[in-house]
A = this chain, B = another copy of it.
Amino acid sequence: MGTFIGHISPGLAFVSFGILYAFKFSLLVLRGEKIPLVSPPRTAGLRGCVKRIPVEGVMKIVYGTLAVMAEFFYPPGVYKMILFNKEKPDYPFIHPNEWQHVTMYAYFALSGWVDVISQACLPRRLFLFESIAIAIAFYIEALLLYNHMHGKQQVENSVHALLLFVCFLVCLVLTVELWRPNDPILWFTKTCLVMIQGTWLLHAAFILYKPFTGKPWKADDIANLMFVTNFFCWHIALNILLLLAFFLLTACWLSWRSRPGGNGTKEMFVFNLTRADGAVPRAEYDKLRAAEEETHLLQECDP
């Protein structure tokens, strides 16, 4: 829906995914864990299946399905699930915006179903299939955003072009992740980009439908177009800071949970941080550390 609520709700959805990703990947990095490429087999039975249902998948299904419903039947009394107008002689297509949005949301819901089936129902998790499903959802979003700009005003186009730019970067990252699923730089780039998409959609809703001055932004004012880009750049900084905050929160929580062996935990964090892309294997790092400590002891003895 090209309305205020139609931009706020996907914005909130992307923000919630961003937060989920931020905590998930912070945990993985701080613990030095990796996504297992071959998952262990699972206990069969409905109970185990239900317990294994992933939050992320359910969120995608719920958000996606609700959004599809809203496009067709919201506000109540409306019924837009029709492709063409049968009353006119040449059956022209109607509701093009709604059908584009529905297509977009449906792919995200589909990706959710793939997550749930792969993680809960199948004998083994098919991680690659989940990655492909979410990558396709973002590709579809990019494709539709690219072809969404017909007959719109420049401010709206500028806002959407920046959204498309972020979405395209997400597609790139997800494509590379098919071959490098365990690269922390890609994890956090993805997280940050999804968060930027979220907060930018929230901001866009206000710019396009509820400007703070009460008057719509003039499309022919160059200052307006330049400030759209400017605000977008501030969103980048904002989301990087948010991501950092989430990371530190996770680190605090982890070290609080493992207080007795707190020192080792801190040491592990430092290791996992210093070179997040895992280029330095643990063994080598430990050797380095041992040499350092020895030097340290000698220095303490020396004077």
Interface contact A148-B38, CB-CB below 8 Å: no
Beta-carbon contact of A275 and B226 below 8 Å: no
Report the separation of the CA atoms of residues A18 and B25 in the bound assembly, to the nearest whole angstrom: 36
Interface residue count for A (Cβ, 8 Å)? 68
Stretch of A6-14, A55-63, A233-241 on the interface side = A233-241
Least distance between A87 CB and chain B CB atoms (Å): 13
The stretch among A73-81, A90-98, A252-260 that forms the contact with chain B is A90-98
The answer to the question of A39 belonging to the interface, with a C-beta cut-off of 8 Å to chain B, is yes
Among A123-149, those with CB < 8 Å from B are 123-128, 132, 136, 140, 143-144, 147-148
User: What is the bound-complex CA distance between A230 and B103, given in angstroms?
Assistant: 7
Q: How far is the CB of A64 from chain B (nearest CB, A)?
A: 13
Q: What string of 1s and 0s marks CB contacts (under 8 Å) between A211-231 and chain B?
A: 001010010011111111110
Say yes or no for A248: interface residue by CB 8 A criterion: no
Q: Is residue A33 within 8 Å, beta carbon to beta carbon, of the partner chain?
A: no
Enumerate chain B residues within 8 angstroms of A107, measured Cβ to Cβ.
Answer: 233, 237
**Interface: A150 (CB within 8 A):** yes
Q: What is the distance, in angstroms, from A302's C-beta to the closest C-beta of chain B?
A: 14
- Given the contacts A147-B225, A275-B127, A100 and B230 also touching, CB distance less than 8 Å: yes
Complex CA distance for A38 and B232, rounded to whole angstroms = 34
Q: When chains A and B are docked, how far (Å) is the Cα of A237 from the Cα of B37?
A: 26
> What residues of chain B lie closer than 8 Å to A37, measured between beta carbons?
274-275, 279-280
| Interchain CB contact under 8 A, A274 and B38 | yes
Contact B128 A91 (CB under 8 A): no
Contact in complex: B236, A148 (CB < 8 Å): no
Contact partner of A90 (CB less than 8 A), chosen from B94, B127, B213, is: B213
Partner of A151, one of B41, B218, B222, B227: B222
- Does A275 contact B140, Cβ atoms closer than 8 Å? no
Considering only residues 19-64 of chain A, those with a C-beta below 8 Å from chain B are 37-41
> Are B147 and A226 in contact, CB atoms less than 8 angstroms apart?
yes
Residues of A that sit less than 8 Å from B by CB:
37-41, 84, 90-94, 96-97, 99-100, 103, 107, 110, 123-128, 132, 136, 140, 143-144, 147-148, 150-151, 158, 165, 178-179, 185, 213, 215, 218, 221-230, 232-234, 236-237, 240, 270, 273-277, 279-280, 285, 288, 292
7 contacts between A and B (CB under 8 A): A38-B288, A103-B230, A124-B270, A132-B185, A136-B240, A144-B229, A144-B230
